[in-house]
Structure 1
Amino acid sequence: MGRRPSGAERRREQSRGRPPRPGQAPAQTPDLGGRLPVALLVPGDEGMGLSALGWQVVHRLLSQEPGLAVERFFLGKGFNAPAAHDSGRDLTLFPLMAASVSFEEDFLPLLRTLAAAGVPPSRAERPDYPLVLVGGPVAFLNPAPLAPLADAFWVGEAEAGLTEFCLAMKRAAFDGVPKQEFLASVKDMPGLYVPGMSTLPVRRVLALERDRPGLLACPAASGFTGPKAAFADAMLLEINRGCPHACRFCAAGYIYRPPRHARMDDLVRLVEEAAPPKVGLVGTALTDWPDLLPFLRWLADRKTKFSLSSLRADGLGEELLEFLRQCGIRTITLALEGASERLRRAANKKLDAEVFLDAVERCARLGVNHLRLYLIIGWPWETAEDYDELEAFLGQVMAARDRGHGARTREFMRITLGASCLVPKPFTPMQWAPMMSEAGLLAGQKRLTEMTRKLRGLALHVDAPFQARLQGVLSRGGEETFRLVELAAEGGWKKAMRRFETETADILDRQRGETEAFPWEVVDIGVSRQLLWREYGRADRAVHSPGCPALGCAGCGACGMDRWLEQI
């Protein structure tokens, strides 16, 4: 067997597909036709990637541009130098590496992948191409922990100018313009944050129809489906973006303002073009969409299966639930959020206990066989009395299920209670709050275990408090947090967190001051800090606040989004 070519030899063999270095003449590449090679980096394996929408939107946008040659890289856990999913090309042949980062845990495979491919993970060590661009929710939730890695961030929605940025880079790269000179020329481009160069704060960019800001002009849809996907063979469709209910723990309700709904006609067209066997409806407020039931009826008429994400109990009426059961939906998900009414008021979760119990009874009566309930523990104001109230309420849930069953004995609705740990996120009213300690979270989980053990047909699933605390550090830290990711690349997250204890305590374990500056405020999401601080005070007093008005931002004035939108 012949000797396997080294990485350097493979790169030389494939160098025809690479744009010139600064000062070189543009390469004539028959295989790419003079297009700019763009590597789209997707953390995780192919199965998870095929069930994530954000990067697929970017792929669709950029691959439609004749001047760009976009290829997918699924990073897995990042231990190996990846090859392009489409062509097998080496990552180092791509002068633009665009990473779609949705979750803080994605930081580690991204860093490992660059290192495994021979690309310095630190931007300080990459004065020349490749240019590493980071997009996705992390880019406008808190880009600071990845600022030492990324040359630039795309802040906001890809439909609002990402293609133009890529074409500007193509011109610069093929004209021999050095990377730093190119970055200096685009540093204040709308939607672009270049650490150390851009004028701050950088405004998030949105793809809006100015005369209809409540409309989701470009609903996201899966460009790739298949049996390997986590949601096998399902085309995912975005029904709404953002959420009007203003729950104080939920970043999506703030960083995606204004809340927008898709047009049914747009979704019908997408389904007709793709003709998928199944559709998964994605959104933060599905039952708020006025066309939900008409669209589901349309899908059923064309014999297209569907699934839905979490529903609100007050939106799960008799007609909708009866239709879902007729279509074979046997699992329903409802969010409870707080253990007690007081904590739900603190969270601004407007949940009527009687409406919730009626929804449980209705589910049991109509033959739903699995009800998922979601709960958040770890609130700063949590006490033993809140768990006492939860125990009593779960007893009422069991009684409602039994009433729904009635005389039927052959069917039984099992219930799963999923309890996640509160991570106080940037750009929410909770950004000033300390995070509960790992010991405190474990104690809460122990209490949940004790109370649910007595309830027949109820299973408990809990998060790992360590993972929640890790997410808290990575989402709330500044640029110093990149050191934690580097330590994890050497020995894993647990060892890294032990070596990062002092920084972790400062990031997570203290109440922040009203005027303290936050590292994520290099970004302007459009929601005023004054509104967030006021809502934090109302959370402390367990007082409800109204959500976004049904008629949109115009004339509202509550969070400043109306004035912010006028400047677009």
Structure 2
Amino acid sequence: MSVKEDFIYYGREEPIAEETGGRLPTALVFPGRKGAALSTLGWQAVYRLLAPEDELAVERFFLGDPGQPSVSMDSDKELSEFPLIGFSINFEEEYLHPVRMLKDSGVPALSSERPGFPLVMAGGPVAFLNPAPIAPFFDLFWVGEAEAGLKDLCLELKRHIYDGGSKNDFLELIKDRPGVYVPAKTSGKVKRALVPPAPCGENDHVPVLSTPAYSCFISPEAVFKDMFLVEVNRGCPYGCRFCAAGYIYRPPRHASLDQLKEIVELADPPKVGLVGTALTDWPDLIPYIEWLKNRKTKFSLSSVRADGLTVELLDILRASGVRTVTLALEGASKRLRDSASKNLNEEDFLRAVELCAAKGVNHLRMYIIVGWPGETDADYEEFASMLEKIDQARSRGQGNKKKQFMRITLGASCLVPKPWTPLQWTAMPSETELKNVLAKVNSLTKKYKGVTFSGDSPFQARLQGILARGNEELHKFIMIAAEEGGWKKAFKYYEGDLEKFIDHNLDKNDPLPWDFIETGINKSYLWREWERYLKGVMTPPCPPEGCAQCKACGMHKWLTDNSDII
């Protein structure tokens, strides 16, 4: 499928706001700084989807200074002038920003105080993880993939408004549609909007991602400076039990090699960043980066699985100037990795470290997670031994090449049990417990030359856990954070019990704030996976052929039952 007809790319140029001329003024808001937005693929994909439409006048908004109205990047218009305001929200910690931006722009933050326009909507991963904590602020949520109908919904709103219709009438009209959640109006389950896998080609045996996302803009201001991002795959077959992406983006799909080549040919960017949750599982990864290398286009990859790092891949990366490689170990011990269903052998990880050192990689980034349910001192004693093995693997790889000494940065994050994962039922350790285990991991790195430690913030992790697993009563906590200037002050002034959302395990039949969302994954399957975590039993990855070959999680039946709407 050619992308040329719908291709839109500005590069370093800025779009110019045109006269409305009968089009619906539409504010597309990223609740963060411009640099982060320009390195966020999802937000740019929505812009690319909506901006070309003749019936919509789309303008970009980013987080500005506190107390100041939000102003369009494309004109001098303020947020309050737009009848449709859409927020793209990626992380729970961003929740206070939409509230602040609305209030600073003279728009009531609570939907109950906005009987008329603007219509304020939200989308992004949090909309189909658990939108409950921010539900009182939004008139509607787009639940699922934007390519699966968001544009049609916005065009329908435009025609409704220009025909003189009210906001309430529009919300009543759409409240029970797939992909739409209207707080206090939607009845029953909300079906996640999904672009189904495209039919496989004659010689292909993997589900195809027919609508790979890519950047509209590149910029020296971006977090990833002047980098053009392309989506290689969506979803992950491994189903690591802590990772929401492995569940909410099922079924896993891979982009077409020809499509991604065409996208880069049309954009002709200075550098390409490959984005995906399972890069080394893409069958065309080597041919694609070889093609980029031959056309003299610089490129980079996000984290790769250690068992997917081959000599051939690393040779191409090094020949293309890649100096840093990122590997995720996740669990400190084999027991924890098996419980998490990481499906990673220690030998493969050590081989990848040795290979990186032998090939002259300058900087190896490694990541682990702390705060696992049931972790013990014995797990970190094993990790101490693992660090020694990693140091030895580095030495073997380097041999006598002292000038090519490979630095290692060990990053440690705190486990946050997310909705729609098997760990959604577990409690989090206390802030003190997390600090102690991070200090322990840090101390283990001290004896090794060229190994530095970077630890997560336990406060931020527990905050994220509260926001991820909370219900609608948390909107008061979020409002305080927006009004008082941050989360720590919100903890000080909020009178409710926040720790109840993360300080105890949940039972199988406990109602969850996100139960009303239908992602396609059976809740009973997630519970079985939680039980397998407790037993330390791994689950095999999704088969390459897709859901037709596996009926374990319920996605196959869900795709069949909803084939008329996805």
TM-score by length of 1: 0.93
Partner in structure 2 of residue 34 of structure 1: 22
Letter in 1 for 2:512: F
Out of 103, 123, 145, the residue aligned to residue 111 of structure 2 is: 123
Question: Partner of 1:415: helix, strand, or coil?
Answer: strand
| Aligned 8 A contact 1:53 1:236 in 2 | yes
Shift of 1:207: 1.4
Instruction: Trace 1:156-171 onto structure 2 (pairs within 5 A).
Output: 156-171=144-159
| Inter-CA distance 30–486: structure 2 relative to 1 (3 Å threshold) | closer
Question: Partner of 1:148: helix, strand, or coil?
Answer: helix
Partner in structure 2 of residue 111 of structure 1: 99
| Aligned 8 A contact 1:200 1:523 in 2 | no
Out of 264, 277, 281, the residue aligned to residue 274 of structure 2 is: 281
Shift of 1:134: 0.3
Would you identify which runs of 4 or more consecutive aligned residues in structure 1 move more than 6 Å? none
Cα distance per residue 1:247-298 (max 9 Å; x no partner): 0000000000000000011111110111100000010000000100100010
Question: Partner of 1:521: helix, strand, or coil?
Answer: coil
Between stretches 422-431 and 351-360, larger displacement belongs to 351-360
Out of 247, 258, 263, the residue aligned to residue 270 of structure 1 is: 263
Shift of 1:438: 0.5
Identity of aligned residues (%): 54
Letter in 1 for 2:120: V
CA distance in 2, matches of 1:228, 1:30: 24
| Inter-CA distance 258–365: structure 2 relative to 1 (3 Å threshold) | same
1:464 has 2:457 as partner: yes
Cα distance per residue 1:194-214 (max 9 Å; x no partner): 111112210001112454482
Out of 534, 537, 549, the residue aligned to residue 531 of structure 2 is: 537
1:181 has 2:169 as partner: yes
Shift of 1:435: 0.9
Partner in structure 2 of residue 350 of structure 1: 343
The count of corresponding residues between Structure 1 and Structure 2 is: 540
Out of 16, 24, 36, the residue aligned to residue 48 of structure 1 is: 36
Shift of 1:504: 1.9
| Aligned 8 A contact 1:425 1:472 in 2 | yes
| Aligned 8 A contact 1:44 1:75 in 2 | yes
| Aligned 8 A contact 2:275 2:301 in 1 | yes
Out of 95, 105, 116, the residue aligned to residue 83 of structure 2 is: 95
Letter in 1 for 2:538: H
Question: Partner of 2:380: helix, strand, or coil?
Answer: helix
| Inter-CA distance 547–163: structure 2 relative to 1 (3 Å threshold) | same
Out of 294, 318, 325, the residue aligned to residue 325 of structure 1 is: 318
Partner in structure 2 of residue 421 of structure 1: 414
Letter in 1 for 2:357: A
| Inter-CA distance 299–30: structure 2 relative to 1 (3 Å threshold) | closer
Between stretches 188-197 and 265-274, larger displacement belongs to 188-197
Partner in structure 2 of residue 304 of structure 1: 297
| Aligned 8 A contact 1:133 1:153 in 2 | yes
- Structure 2 regions of 5+ residues with no counterpart? 1-16, 201-205
Shift of 1:50: 0.4
Out of 250, 260, 263, the residue aligned to residue 257 of structure 1 is: 250
| Aligned 8 A contact 2:198 2:209 in 1 | no
Instruction: Trace 1:478-517 onto structure 2 (pairs within 5 A).
Output: 478-491=471-484, 492-500=486-494, 503-517=497-511
| Inter-CA distance 33–490: structure 2 relative to 1 (3 Å threshold) | closer
Give the RMSD, CA atoms, in angstroms: 1.4
| Aligned 8 A contact 2:80 2:107 in 1 | yes
CA distance in 2, matches of 1:542, 1:71: 50
Shift of 1:501: 7.4
TM-score by length of 2: 0.94
Cα distance per residue 1:332-373 (max 9 Å; x no partner): 000000000000011111111111111111110110010000
Shift of 1:61: 0.9
Cα distance per residue 1:394-414 (max 9 Å; x no partner): 011001101111111211000
1:67 has 2:55 as partner: yes
Letter in 1 for 2:515: E
Between stretches 168-177 and 505-514, larger displacement belongs to 168-177
| Aligned 8 A contact 1:78 1:111 in 2 | no
Partner in structure 2 of residue 526 of structure 1: 520
Shift of 1:487: 1.3
1:550 has 2:544 as partner: yes
| Inter-CA distance 369–250: structure 2 relative to 1 (3 Å threshold) | same
1:562 has 2:550 as partner: no
Question: Partner of 2:137: helix, strand, or coil?
Answer: coil
Partner in structure 1 of residue 187 of structure 2: 199
Partner in structure 2 of residue 80 of structure 1: 68
CA distance in 1, matches of 2:198, 2:361: 42
| Inter-CA distance 214–30: structure 2 relative to 1 (3 Å threshold) | closer
Shift of 1:555: 4.1
Question: Partner of 1:519: helix, strand, or coil?
Answer: coil
| Aligned 8 A contact 1:44 1:77 in 2 | no
CA distance in 1, matches of 2:290, 2:413: 33
Cα distance per residue 1:89-125 (max 9 Å; x no partner): 1111100000000001111111100000000000000
Instruction: Trace 1:315-394 onto structure 2 (pairs within 5 A).
Output: 315-394=308-387
| Aligned 8 A contact 1:43 1:77 in 2 | no
| Aligned 8 A contact 2:198 2:210 in 1 | no
Shift of 1:189: 2.4
Question: Partner of 2:515: helix, strand, or coil?
Answer: helix
CA distance in 2, matches of 1:297, 1:194: 47
Question: Partner of 2:506: helix, strand, or coil?
Answer: coil
